[in-house]
A and B are shown apart, each in its own frame.
Chain A
Amino acid sequence: MKKLTAVLIILLVAMSFASAKLVIWSSENQIPALEKLAADFESDYGIQVEIQQVNFGDIKSKFLTAAPAGEGPDIIVGAHDWVGELAINGLIEPIPFLPDREQYYEVALDAFNYGGKLYGVPYTIEAIAIIYNKDLVFDVPKTLTELEQLALEASDDEVVGFIYTAGDFYHSAPFILGRGGYIFKETSAGQDVKDIGLSNQGAVAGGNLIKSWFDKGLIPGGPNYNLMDSLFKDGLAAFIVNGIWATPSYRDAGIDYAIIPFSEIAFDDGTTPRPFVGVQGFMINAKSSNKLEATEFVVNYIGSYEGQYGMFLGERRGTARADVFAFIEAGAGPELYDVLQFSKSASVGTPMPNVPEMASVWGAMGDALGLIINGQDTVENALSAAVEKIKTTIGN
């Protein structure tokens, strides 16, 4: 038995030496850029980098299963709103030092900040904006009231003036947060989940605005994402609210669209709507045995100017570094119109809270918005019920 154990240990040791390499889980679009960086890293470090393609939507759940068992990759690509859950679980490692820190957009670093520590190197920023069909709308609205009028003018028996996924908090957030609603109070020690501002005056004002669109018949009853998407593709919707992920399919459908970033449209009092900003970045497995190399790869290679520009070329989305953005903007042709417009929209946005308590907000606010747009409850009641729900769900 002793001999057997010895043999097995030797085998395991041999296997572990053979596997002294960095493993990255990445979604499809980042792979070309990563491969280039990996080649540089390999020649500099003599350590192999293996890039494994995992569907973006599966990365978090797979990582949550693999990482606690000491398996799993050294580096993952992910969304910033995973950070709280992964950090509380002790599965991701803080980034000790970020060179060129001042080049990163504040919103991108804030998004990956949890409990005062940076948990990832961001590479892309995205936020939703208003999209309209230029064949149906002939004027660019400067305020939401103007948008309502233009939408009314555009609508007829077939065409819908304005439609978006109003029952979903992500899409309705710009109007609620823009008027002064907030989710969790920002404090110096992070977000105070006990102070919820989703039923304050500003949030109610936003809720009333959304309700008025339904009361006026501007938005048809029961809107959902698929409906909005297909109406717009068929040229049957004038204004919608959506993100950069959707525009390629609109172009393919032959729709002549334009994008109004939330920074360029205002409420009647002059304030602008504030969309949620989603940031994606690279995070390091806290249980990795190659933490040093993983950190160096993420910070010095992916975080570098060239690395970030490569990421941008792989997927044309707003970048997290100001110098990369400036370079792109300087040479931008019409093909980068979408990126620039959505980036402007993100500039007035606020990062989605990355605390795990956020999970309860989506459901509760979805419920409240459902009650509001169906006229089953007053805006005030629905929103304060939502806050109650969030509090009971977070508990303790």
Chain B
Amino acid sequence: MSGRRFAAFLVFLAILAIFNGFALWSIYLLYADGNFGLMVTMVILTLLIDLIALNPKGYPYRYMIPAMVLLFILTLYPMYYTFRTAFTNYGTGHLFTRQQSIQKLLSDYFYIPEKPQEYEFSIYIQLKDYNPTDNFITLLQSKESGELFAAPRPQAINRDATGNITLATAKMLEIKGDTFSIGGVNYSLSRSPTGSVLAIRSDTGERFVYFYSPQDQSTRPNASFYFSEIRGVWLRNAEFTDSEGNQVRLFPNSLYTTFATTERKYALRAETVFSAGRAIQETVVYNRQTGRKLVEEGGFFYDVDENGNDITVEGYISDVGFWNFVRMFRDPKISKPFFQVFGWTFTWAGLSVFFSFTIGLALAMTLNDRRLKGKKIYRTLMIIPWAVPAFISALVWRNGFFNETYGVLNRFIVQGLFGLEPIKWLNDAFWAKVSVLIVNTWLGFPYMMTVSLGALQSIPEEFYEASSIDGATRLQRFKKITFPLLMVTVAPLLVGSFAFNFNNFTGIYLVTQGGPAIVGASTPAGATDILISYTFKLAFEGRGQDFGFASAISIIIFIIVAGFSWINFKLSGSFEEVSR
């Protein structure tokens, strides 16, 4: 191996190593995230790429890999994800897994028990070289009785993935005669002449000095250390236990300036459930205050209040099987307008293709005529509708042309030229359909013109010469030569265009938003709603977002479009026979 090639190989290895580094990092992140499906896929992909890169036989595949990776990331994974989501209730109210919801129930919900005790507190801190350390003792004074309690620095029980303490506990110790003991070590309070506690001394010689109390303005200079190092680390999730076993925490209702008895509202307990005649042990969440177990239904945890009303507490993502698909047939808001919407979707896609193709082809043939001068100018002008962003054109059409009173069409043509009654372009079911078709044709014809132009130029001139010798008319020539030969190239594009318009959400939404409303309709389907825009309305403009349902409908739409395109390709294959 020459030196140069060896250097190149080293560079190659370095690049591969960097890639593998990133891959491992992302695999680790996915692992930490609990996303095992994607993790396994990433592992397989990484191994595959390494194999191909290092194996000389895999050489040709090196050029395929980027495409394959992009195909996976941009197409296959979203498809898989959509498919999986379609069988869940993922959406508003159901964003977390059941596990996460239970976690939240156990850690985030508190109640205030009968006879709560509220304590004012102060922090005593050990100094080292005159700097505060994070070794501290909390002195709590009952607001009601004035009794004093001491709590040592709580011990971390749980930490989250990033190392923050999520639970720390300590016992509250009664102070009798200004002394108390922690784990055999005795502590005594040193008081000032006015009686306030200045410091705490242990018999081992440790000394804790008065550092901070939210009630004492004079300790404010120490607040920032307290907030960031003491509360921020230790007290934020601290749980002190008093002599009766009650839990004492920083009290939200005083904005964390006192401690108070608060209890966790929910806890787990094992319960025997009879199912199909067999006794099964099951872990259930129950309300510690009322003793009632939470009802789980439809992906929600419900609690029952004193009046017997259900209160939604937490929702989670649950598998609903084929429910989202069944809904499409059972739910009147979908089944009722389905055929109307479905029919219009076909009409819309079909007519959009028909009009833009006919106009595009006519213009292409004109531009292809040798007698026409200034072709370039015309061609450039004709491309403009294609070049202008669709949403701008759509808005210009909507506000500038179709407006009932001020629109160009009504003002100058319908009323001005013909003196007719103004047409309700966007507010009448029929005319709204005409309007969206006009706009879509306007947006679509330049594309059709461009592809037709290319196709026309590829038809050999000899065919026309031969036909003119045979005495064919222009119409005959178009029918027998131009059109069939054109179709060979253009037919697949027409199919593609049909599939595109079938799902052309923007084409509808920017002009009419699916409107106008249908008189007397009890569903939100409007006169120009196509499947995809109606789906959008149902999934995102009803009650929050319903991703599960939206996914189910997109799968159905995918099947329809795929099926239709397949038939179309079959049909367009028959044109190919003509050309042979």
- Distance (whole angstroms) from the CB of B137 to the closest CB of chain A: 21
The reply on B524 being an interface residue by CB < 8 A is yes
Complex Cα–Cα for A299 and B257 (A): 13
Residue with the greatest number of chain B CB neighbours at <10 A, chosen from A9, A44, A392: A392
The reply on A212 being an interface residue by CB < 8 A is no
Q: A43-B224, A377-B520, A394-B542 are in contact. Are A96 and B253 (CB under 8 A)?
A: yes
The reply on A336 being an interface residue by CB < 8 A is no
Q: Is the CB of B331 within 8 A of A221?
A: no
Q: Is the CB of A13 within 8 A of B424?
A: no
Q: Is the CB of A222 within 8 A of B543?
A: no
Considering only residues 338-360 of chain A, those with a C-beta below 8 Å from chain B are 356-357, 359-360
Q: Is the CB of A395 within 8 A of B95?
A: no
* Interface 1/0 per residue, A212-231 and B, CB below 8 Å: 00000000111110110000
Nearest CB in chain A to that of B104: its residue: A90
Mark the stretch among A100-108, A248-256, A290-298, A325-333 that contacts chain B.
A290-298
CB neighbours of A271 from chain B (8 A): none
**Size of the chain A interface, CB-CB below 8 angstroms:** 66
CB neighbours of B391 from chain A (8 A): none
CB neighbours of A395 from chain B (8 A): 331, 333, 542-543
Q: Is the CB of A394 within 8 A of B543?
A: yes
Mark the stretch among B339-347, B400-408, B501-509 that contacts chain A.
B400-408
The reply on A54 being an interface residue by CB < 8 A is no
Mark the stretch among A145-153, A257-265, A367-375 that contacts chain B.
A367-375
Partner pick for B543 among A20, A359, A389, CB 8 A cutoff: A359
- Distance (whole angstroms) from the CB of A383 to the closest CB of chain B: 12
- Distance (whole angstroms) from the CB of B411 to the closest CB of chain A: 11
CB neighbours of B428 from chain A (8 A): 374, 376
The reply on A56 being an interface residue by CB < 8 A is no
Q: Is the CB of A393 within 8 A of B256?
A: no
Q: Is the CB of B164 within 8 A of A16?
A: yes
Residue with the greatest number of chain A CB neighbours at <10 A, chosen from B161, B309, B544: B544
Q: Is the CB of B522 within 8 A of A13?
A: no
Complex Cα–Cα for A45 and B227 (A): 6
Nearest CB in chain B to that of A116: its residue: B311
CB neighbours of A96 from chain B (8 A): 252-253, 255
Nearest CB in chain B to that of A286: its residue: B108
Nearest CB in chain A to that of B520: its residue: A385
Mark the stretch among B44-52, B113-121, B228-236, B349-357 that contacts chain A.
B228-236
Q: A224-B399, A367-B524, A367-B526 are in contact. Are A299 and B255 (CB under 8 A)?
A: yes
* Interface 1/0 per residue, A81-114 and B, CB below 8 Å: 0000100111100001101000000000000000
- Distance (whole angstroms) from the CB of B467 to the closest CB of chain A: 53
Q: Is the CB of A47 within 8 A of B95?
A: no
The reply on A141 being an interface residue by CB < 8 A is no
Nearest CB in chain B to that of A89: its residue: B95
Nearest CB in chain B to that of A287: its residue: B104
The reply on A53 being an interface residue by CB < 8 A is no
Q: Is the CB of A85 within 8 A of B92?
A: yes
Complex Cα–Cα for A376 and B526 (A): 14
- Distance (whole angstroms) from the CB of B212 to the closest CB of chain A: 12
Since A46-B227, A363-B537 are in contact, a sample of 8 more A-B pairs with Cβ atoms closer than 8 Å, ordered by chain A residue number, is A16-B164, A47-B227, A85-B544, A223-B405, A224-B403, A359-B543, A360-B541, A388-B522
Give 18 CB contacts A-B under 8 Å: A9-B163, A12-B163, A15-B162, A46-B227, A47-B228, A64-B545, A90-B96, A90-B314, A97-B253, A115-B311, A222-B426, A227-B403, A227-B406, A295-B255, A357-B543, A367-B517, A370-B517, A393-B543
